[in-house]
Amino acid sequence: MSKNKIAIIGAGSIVFCSTILNDLFNVPELNGFEIALMSPTMPKIVRMVNYAEKIIQKSGLKTTVYATTDRRDALKGARYVILMYQIGGVEAFRMDYEIPLKYGVDQCIADSLGPGGVFRLLRTAGVMKSIDDDMRELCPDAHVLNYVNPMGAVCTYLGRYTHMKSVGLCHGVQTTMDLIAGYTEVPKDQIDFVAAGINHMAWFLKLEHEGRDLYPLLRERIEKAEYYMNEKVRGEVMRHGGYFMTESTGHLSEYLPWFRKNKKALDTYCDMPDFGGASGAYYKFTKSIAEKYAVTDVFALESGNLEARSKEYCSYIIEAMESGRPFKFNGNVLNRGYIKNLPDDACVEVPVFADRLGLHPTVIGKLPSHLAAMNLSNISVQSLAAEAAHEADPERAFWAIAMDPLTSAVLTLKEIREMVGELFEAEAQWLPEFAGKGLRKLHAVSIPEGTVPADVPVDPALAINSRFGKL
């Protein structure tokens, strides 16, 4: 295995891939590495290479970057593999949002849980399996840093059904810490915290500044209208449950049954624009970005200067593993007793330490039981979705969506089956593993007027009337 190669799979993501590349160029230990940018088509990654080479030349780096549409070529000899692809693009995302909305399931984000999250996993898993097969041959010892959503379900799938040494990365903790720092008026780098749970629903179990608990101040601020209105769902959950969580109001509103199930709930808790709860906020944002970059060459405006590193964990983890300098981050891994009251085969998000010896997740113990209960409602969906993807089982996919907290608060089983069937038909081109495996169609049972109920067999020994007569 090469000691100096990084493969980025799905490198056509103009905004995100360019951010990760800039971060990697900031790490002295990676100067001289070879970085392979892989995407199914060349135009975007050629532009990405040109962007990267301007920085390399202007900064005097020895790093090399090349583009390829051959995934096996990108993976061959890689030391690190960064995953950031999306199967089906904006068109599949549109279906994930619009078809459920037609049935009454109003999603804000639609990429992590619910109908949108489940179908994104189903489109993703087959490619993950083929990447795993290639890696076992071409780079069996490589570390995988996954950014592909739905993070919880994808990491459950990776942990259960592949051989990858993987960790899932998100920026919910970093961005929420910015908010907490602002609300408590304490510099972010001076706040000591412990966050744990699952991706997009991890809980800040401790928030301290020089030994002082910051929760009383945060709770006090959330009771004020000008703070509460910014984070109605997160604020409401903290007001009732005592703990703040790691994703926006728009995200959390989908993961629990109380905030998007009807117009009254939406008007009360999800009335802020964009990720404050607006319907289809993430799909509409993604669509607008795609349309913009289709006609605008953003790289033409780049100066070639090396910018400051972003908040993304990726480059810091690789730096720690190359340099031996430890780095602490929140990562998504298969639970191995790290959180005692969540299943061992579930994906959990816990503090992880990276160093030259690898990744070392932290044992948290037990979550407060009500927080674990909320996590478990999402784990049920992620677990069923991972099984459905592994077995290419449409019935298991149906049950994953049927157990989704938002969907189950809005629809009957019959309506869910109809919706899932329509999603399978609409997205068939991205679901080759499910070809010929249609969802069963169940028709409503008609009960003609005057129908007499069938006799119900009763064991006489158990019937109260048989011993005591009618009361």
pLDDT at 72: 97
Identify any residues that bridge with 193 across adjacent strands, giving them in sequence order.
207
Cα dihedral across residues 345, 383, 333, 75: positive or negative: positive
| CA 40 to each of CA 65, 128, 383, 434, 459: distance values in angstroms, whole numbers, following the listed order | 17, 15, 29, 22, 65
Q: Is 360 a catalytic residue?
A: no
Q: Spot the catalytic one: 171, 200, 209, 390.
A: 171
At 219 the three-state DSSP class reads helix
Cα–Cα–Cα angle for 176, 379, 311, nearest 5°? 25
Here the contacts of 412-416 (C-beta below 8 Å, separation 24 or greater) are 414/442, 414/444, 415/103, 415/104
∠352-358-363 over CA atoms, to 5°? Answer: 30
Note the pLDDT of residue 299.
73
By the 8 A CB rule, do 370 and 341 touch?
no
Beta bridge partners of residue 329, listed in sequence order: 352
Specify the DSSP class assigned to residue 270.
S
Peptide bond into 150 cis (omega under 30): yes
Q: What are phi and psi of 408, to 5 degrees?
A: -70, -20
Q: What is the pTM of this model?
A: 0.94
Residues sharing a CB contact under 8 Å with residue 217, sequence separation 6 or more, in sequence order? 183, 184
What is d(CA 4, CA 30) in angstroms, rounded to the nearest whole number?
8
Contact 23, 314 (CB under 8 A): yes
Rounded CA-CA distance 365/350 in Å is 11
Residue-wise pLDDT tens for the chain (471 aa)? 456 999 999 998 888 899 999 999 999 999 999 999 999 998 889 999 999 999 999 999 999 999 999 999 999 999 999 999 999 999 999 999 999 999 999 999 999 999 999 999 999 999 999 999 999 999 999 999 999 999 999 999 999 999 999 999 999 999 999 999 999 999 999 999 999 999 999 999 999 999 999 999 999 999 999 999 999 999 999 999 999 999 999 999 999 999 999 999 999 999 999 999 999 999 999 999 888 877 777 777 678 899 999 999 999 999 999 999 999 999 999 999 999 999 999 999 999 999 999 999 999 999 999 999 999 999 999 999 999 999 999 999 999 999 999 999 999 999 999 999 999 999 999 999 999 998 999 988 999 999 999 998 888 777 665 555 554
